[in-house]
Chains A and B, each alone.
Chain A
Amino acid sequence: MKRRDFVQLTGLGIGGMLLPFPSMGNPTTIEAMLDTPLDIRQKKQLADVALNTAKSSGATYADIRIGRYLNQFISTRENKVQGIENSESFGTGIRVIVNGTWGFAATNDVTNDGVKKATLRAVAIAKANSKFQKEPVKLAPVKAFGEVVWNTPIQQNAFEVPVSEKVDLLLKANAGALQNGATFASSNLFMVNEQKYFASTDGSYIDQNIHRIWPTFNVSTIDKASGKFKARQALSAPMGMGYEYMVPKKEDKLQGPAGMVLYRNSYDIVEDATLAAKQAKEMITAKSVEPGKYDLVLEPNHLGLTIHESVGHPLELDRILGYEANYAGTSFATLDKLKSGTFNYGSKIVNIFADKTQPGSLGAVGYDDEGVQCKRWDLIRDGILVNFQAIRDQAHILGQNESHGCCYAQSWSDVQFQRMPNVSLAPGKEPYSIDQMIKDVEKGIYIAGRGSYSIDQQRYNFQFGGTVFYEIKNGAITGMLNDVAYQSNTQEFWNSCVKICDERDYRLFGSFFDGKGQPSQVSAVSHGSATARFNGVNVINTGRTI
């Protein structure tokens, strides 16, 4: 399945760029998915074949990843199941440094012979490229962890939940939407399990079992007379969790403005689909926005994507250095700005941190894909830019002597590189609720959920839409709005942040398919925040006729 098909299927815009979703692998059965093709002893033995072959062929460093990537994707529309796909992708990728140059090769032939041949191919590639190498690779030191294990702390493995139970839940959500005035309702459930074994010549053998889940839907209403159609997408977040996310818990529900229900660590898909139908209907006749300057009140499931695009990506060191210049682009946040120690990324209340250990987040793992233990570090402190995101071969450029642990490959067949960790906005320190925030706004718009998003290649100019928009006048919500998008400049936007709700409102947003690199790879990442207010942002009207 191509990511583009997936986007069409769900009717969603998804974080990052338009990319294929390549790790869908091959169809398989549930029983086969729950099998283990190789035990840890066999993996270690195969790893040693690669590491020894590499060393004896002249490599100064080598690592091997033996990966098994399981996916289950259930799609439904109205009262029908449209697809149940179980897929598995199994193979190994070997990376070497020869003559100061990287080489990589991957194969699905996970035998001693297959591993040996792939290692030799990786060595040959490194040698061919080293003729033109001008910047020999320098790796930051890493601790040898020996044989270690890390698993996502799930309560219920989603792959073990009977498909019929999952299908029933999705169909119930569709029915809830249809009974409440929706013309069409489709829903999907994505489950991912990465079983990754990593070993390197630095002395680590790391076995990890990682789970992610994403329920989502698209509810639409069509007004035949006017020919208008409107859709409302789910306010769920993809999470680094098991099936427990699908079991609604009272303590995870928050009452939002205008009857909205917002979700934290569990999700009520039936309730959200029911509300979505009512909101989609309301959108048909909602007022078209008057363009101009507004104070924006941005809900975490919306703000997460803005953080992703305007903070997460610009602070990737590989972009800053030019490694992504031909695709994702470079960054306005240069090394000079970091070194100055005075670059005002945002207002004084803006504190943004990277964290690969946050429970429930999509980016949480024990070790990254080059064997570095994961951690938390600050990116923006009191509005000032203080750090970037780096991996082993980049840390020296920052004058730092350890990697931040954010190296990732989407599958065994892709080479690992620097990927965004979870990047989150710290909640406000003073008690402050959404209700209080809205009460304080004279002329504003409350925006919830992800929508259209676009940003330039150096991350200055952006335009964002949303899922639902409500007008705020003199401290109260007055009704729904249509055709809203805001345009701003990253530094100007974050400096217009005047208030952030407290930790009671802190929630995770997630991007399941963030794209970067050539060949392009996806990764999943979360962004936490509490509802925040941004003053005087330029809003445009996107209504047109064709």
Chain B
Amino acid sequence: MAILSKEEARKILEKVLSFSKADGCEVNLNGSDGGNIRYARNSVSTSGEDSNISLAVQSYYGKKAGSATINEFDDASLEKVVRRAEELAKLAPENPEFMEPLGPQTYGPSKTWSEATAKITPDYRAQAAANSIGPASAKDITAAGFLEDNRGFTAMMNSKGLFAYNQSTNVDFTVTMRTNDGTGSGWVTRNFNDVSKLDTAEASKVAIDKALMSRNAKAIEPGKYTVILEPAAAGDLIGLMLFGMNARQADEGRSYLSKKGGGTKLNEKIVDERVNIYTDPQHDDVPASPWMPNGLARKKMDLIRGGVVKNLIYDRYWASQKNVEAVPLPGNRIMEGGSASLEDMIKDTKKGILVTRFWYIRAVDPQTLLYTGLTRDGTFYIENGVIKHPIKNFRFNESPVIMLNNLETLGKQVRVGGGGGPGGGGSSLIPYMKIRDFTFTSLSDAV
């Protein structure tokens, strides 16, 4: 019973609320069915399925709140969970930042469900893996991959009259192809709500080609280089920058968006004027849940427009302190691109480096948003418009803010990321991008 329909969920939630005796009550009901297959050494290693459903009740008296949960749905159990939350609320210390639940909200339509994904079977997963392993073995390559799918629903209702329901599906596929001589490695990622868009054989070919192309890489000196970042690489760094757009931290003076002398960089230009990033839960390519887990409606909204910070993320408490509207955490991120293909961008590059992906990215300095990490699974030297040869991996030390100030060209967009789950979305649409003066600080022998 992990997936309940909107009406089934509503019925249970109404019943739960009918037992409430507290000042107020909010109930969340979530369920999901998931499955995965993992392969390595050209053979399936682990594979599994899991199923879970849970009901969580939050009751409050004034600014004292308590939560309890249950996974049984008969009347006695539902009443018991409400009483337990109420007992806990009475015992809780007062939380001055507690916000009463939201009233009814208006949500846009949801596009996060795909029937095809919901119907995935163990046989489908096994075949998807076989379609990736087969072409690898034929080319003396070893495949290690992972396919994970999920269907789920989230629903909530509270004593202020809010009701929200969403169901979503997600499928995520990655594969690393390594040449059997150990000198070449390629990687690819695909993420969709609708599994019918996924072709593991097609994706695997991209990784196989990269593995073959990246054999016997040459070392070049670390330093500042023009780079073409594939969307998976750029998306990782840009995601970290967007994740740091928290208003409270900026107001408190401990964010890259805080200003010397106080205040924030809201409405200030922080990156190149061609950088436009927004969120839109109804976007066809990267749909997200139209509401946040606390019920706040997600709408289309600019984050950065013309290089200028247009919105910071305000939770409900901080918004009330600052007398502004709460701004929900985006469920997806869309960075506008250009029309250039990767091939066009390579053709237009005199001297540069093509980066497939980054690995092990970690914050070095939150003040400047400096991150370190390494290139991985396909790094190539470009000269006079063509890929000359593979190069050894580099460690970088770079800030996405500095990087987006050094923007040269934007190319076509690709969907990356994921981890959708029952909340839906979480994916990004990121263009290929050419950046000048990207800082590589040392060489790595890793393949």
Contact = CB atoms under 8 A, between A and B. Distances in A.
B382 to A, nearest CB: 22
Contacts of A454: 360-362, 372-374, 395
Interface in A430-484: 452-461, 463, 465, 483
Contacts of B96: 80
Given A13-B363, A125-B48, A227-B258, A321 B397 contact: no
A17 B49 contact: no
A132 B364 contact: no
A228 B367 contact: yes
Contact of A229 (B50, B133, B254, B444): B254
A546 B256 contact: yes
B50 A329 contact: no
B42 interface: yes
Interface stretch (B8-16, B139-147, B159-167, B342-350): B139-147
Nearest to A321: B41
B388 interface: no
Interface stretch (A56-64, A96-104, A256-264): A96-104
A322 interface: yes
A463 B52 contact: no
Interface in B161-197: 174-176, 178, 187
A82 B95 contact: yes
A32 B362 CA distance: 39
B46 interface: yes
Contact of A27 (B53, B56, B97, B259): B56
Contacts of B84: 29, 32
A196 B43 CA distance: 30
Contacts of B43: 132-135
A26 interface: yes
* B50, B142, B175, B397: most-surrounded residue (chain A CB, <10 A): B50
A532 interface: no
B228 interface: no
B254 A184 contact: yes
A128 B68 CA distance: 39
Contact of A326 (B145, B258, B365, B374): B145
A258 to B, nearest CB: 22
Interface string B384-408: 0000000001010101011000000
A489 interface: yes
A540 interface: yes
Interface in A216-261: 220, 222, 224-229, 231
A544 B69 contact: no
Interface in A6-31: 8, 13, 17, 20, 26-29
B446 A329 contact: yes
Nearest to B259: A227
A70 to B, nearest CB: 13
A465 B363 CA distance: 10
Contact of A452 (B54, B258, B259, B372): B372
B41 A129 contact: no
B69 A26 contact: yes
Contacts, number: 248
A13 B51 contact: no
B44 A460 contact: no
Contacts of A543: 365, 368
Nearest to B369: A546
A542 B397 contact: yes
The majority secondary structure among interface residues of chain B is: strand
A325 interface: yes
Interface string A312-335: 000000000111111101101000
Nearest to A132: B130
B93 A461 contact: no
Contacts of A228: 367
Contacts of B374: 454, 456-457, 461
* A107, A458, A489: most-surrounded residue (chain B CB, <10 A): A458
Nearest to A83: B95
A108 interface: yes
A322 B178 contact: yes
Interface residues of B, number: 90
Contacts of B54: 26
Contacts of B41: 134-135, 321-323
Given A132-B43, A184-B252, A546-B368, A460 B142 contact: no
B129 interface: yes
Interface in B322-358: none
Contacts of A452: 362-364, 372
A325 B445 contact: no
Contacts of A126: 47
Contact of B441 (A32, A81, A458, A540): A540
A179 to B, nearest CB: 19
B228 to A, nearest CB: 21
A500 to B, nearest CB: 26
B370 to A, nearest CB: 5
B415 interface: no
A82 B148 CA distance: 34
Contact of B176 (A29, A108, A326): A326
B441 A325 contact: no
Nearest to B69: A26
B288 to A, nearest CB: 15
A132 B126 contact: yes
Contacts of B370: 542, 544
A121 B445 contact: no
A27 B69 contact: yes
Nearest to B126: A128
Interface stretch (B18-26, B32-40, B105-113, B304-312): B32-40
Contacts of B366: 229, 231
Nearest to B419: A20
A461 B52 contact: no
A274 to B, nearest CB: 20
Interface in A122-170: 122, 124-126, 128-129, 131-135, 164, 167
Contacts of A229: 253-254, 258, 366-367
A456 B393 contact: yes
Interface string B59-87: 00000001111010000000000001001
Interface string A269-296: 0000000000000000000000000000
A496 B174 CA distance: 38
Nearest to A541: B397
Contacts of A80: 95-97
B116 interface: no
A125 B49 contact: yes
Contacts of A322: 40-41, 142, 144, 178
A27 B40 contact: no
Nearest to A223: B253
The 10 A-B pairs at the shortest CB distance, nearest first, are namely A227-B260, A26-B69, A325-B144, A104-B48, A461-B444, A27-B67, A458-B446, A456-B446, A518-B146, A326-B144
Given A29-B88, A329-B359, A487-B395, 18 more contacts: A29-B66, A29-B84, A32-B68, A105-B50, A125-B47, A125-B49, A128-B47, A128-B126, A164-B93, A321-B41, A324-B40, A327-B146, A487-B442, A518-B146, A543-B368, A544-B368, A546-B368, A546-B402
15 contacts: A29-B87, A82-B97, A84-B92, A108-B51, A129-B47, A164-B93, A325-B40, A325-B176, A325-B178, A326-B38, A327-B146, A330-B178, A453-B362, A519-B148, A543-B368
